[in-house]
Structure 1
């Protein structure tokens, strides 16, 4: 029930993030920059150490279909980063060819949403099957992912305009619940969980930084810094 409550929180973020109009505009909202900082802090303080533990699992207990990755847990993190970087480049190129307020082509939209749906399935599954179990771990993971989804949703709204509000947020919400349901009925090996965490780690880093780095966003470095080191301090104090 606690993991379902966490999943419900993440669904609420998807469904209502578009109504938080005070977060829109340029320069970038301090709240969004702080949320990005929190997400990055969670990656570096919690997920990267879990990748290191996963690397040892790959080395000691590699089995098919993960045998090839016996010495390459970090390659999965790189793969997550590269996959989402490629998707962003594709979307931005198509976006630049369109009038300012036009929706992106349906094919590009569905490719983007499908990739984030896989992302959400992984997050939903990890609500139940993280390498570090327990209520405290669940709370910190859910808070970090909720703020991360808030950042992602504003980026997706900017890319896809009305189509994301009409369709995208519902698809992502459903994907998250599918991942949670899979976690209830399907239990995979520790190696597979490590692989999911590694891929997710690279994806989170890319998806946060792509929202913070572009100059035209006029991001708030002080807010990002506060979010990153404030959340890191909380995690380290546990």
Structure 2
């Protein structure tokens, strides 16, 4: 693992450990949370989705004609990520904190975070600036995710959840240093990340009760998109 990747992986793990200390629940919405939502959406539409379009042939090559439809419909996997995490969010609103749902929720986000850590090390990025931008976007996105988990499961999240998620990022980064995982599986995971990222940005920005700061959301989206295009 390069020094830069090590630092960025540690930074993403630290986001999980300290996210709950950042005040994001105020109404009107925290400026920083609206900026984070804009950055997340920009990251999906300017980087993630074009990556899926460019690389989805690896799925068909790996699995053959039986599932070759994924070559042209990898966006369905992104939709699956969107819907799957939406179901978890909705069920979390209606369950006690001590239920089995907390374990399922953290396990799902654990896999998600492991993929984030892996891509931080092993994703084909053109240079250090791109890797830093990737980590910045994902760090803001993970901050929003942790805020939601801390809201649904305050005690369990502080006691165990944040440490599991921090460890998952580091574990994914460690796997990335050991070698490349099959590109088809990475692309499938990439699609799930895209769907989940869109869900969380929309979920946190659209509810009227949140009184989202539109100017901050637009600033985050436009500013990050400009950076991605520039590099």
Q: Note whether the superposition's TM-score is higher than 0.5.
A: yes
Give the one of 209, 219, 223 matched to 2:216: 223
Report the equivalent of 1:190. 183
Report SS of the residue matched to 1:35: helix
How far off its partner does 1:109 sit?
Answer: 1.2
Partner-residue secondary structure (3-state), 1:70 = helix
SS in 2 for 1:193: helix
Name the CA distance, whole Å, in 2 between partners of 1:66 and 1:207: 33
Is 1:141 equivalent to 2:134 in the alignment?
yes
Match of residue 21, structure 2, among 19, 22, 29? 19
Matching residue of 2:10: 8
Q: What SS does structure 1 have at the residue aligned with 2:117?
A: helix
CA gap of 1:115–1:81, structure 2 versus 1, over 3 A, is same
Deviation at 1:149, TM superposition (A): 1.0
Q: Where does the alignment leave 5 or more consecutive residues of structure 1 unmatched?
A: 95-102
| CA drift at 1:36 | 1.0
Distance 1:199 1:161 in 2: 26
Question: 1:151: which partner in 2?
Answer: 144
Verify: 1:209 aligned to 2:202, yes or no. Answer: yes
The more displaced of 67-76 and 41-50 is: 67-76
TM-score by length of 2: 0.91
Partner of 2:62: 63
- State the alpha-carbon separation in 1 of the partners of residues 184 and 130 from structure 2: 19
2-side partners of 1:77 and 1:35: how far apart? 20
Q: Distance in 2 between matches of 1:135 and 1:170?
A: 27
Inter-CA distance 36–52: structure 2 relative to 1 (3 Å threshold): same
Q: Corresponding residue for 2:42? A: 41
User: For residues 66 and 123 of structure 1, what CA distance do their matches in structure 2 show?
Assistant: 29
SS of the equivalent of 2:203 reads helix
The answer as to whether partners of 1:37 and 1:226 remain within 8 angstroms in 2 is: yes
Deviation at 1:133, TM superposition (A): 4.5
Unaligned runs of 5+ in 2: none
Q: Which secondary structure does the structure 1 equivalent of 2:187 belong to? A: helix
CA shift in 2, pair 1:220/1:67, >3 Å: farther
Spell out structure 1 runs of 4+ moving beyond 3 A. Answer: 56-59
CA RMSD of aligned residues (A): 1.8
Deviations 1:140-159 (A, max 9, x none): 11000111111111111111
2:193 equivalent among 187, 197, 200: 200
For 1:41-190, list aligned pairs within 5 A. 41-58=42-59, 62-64=61-63, 68=67, 69-94=70-95, 104-190=97-183
Shift, 1:80, TM fit: 0.9
Aligned pair count reads 227
> What TM-score do the two structures reach when normalised by structure 1?
0.89
8 A Cα contact 1:131 1:193, kept in partner: no
Partner of 2:32: 31
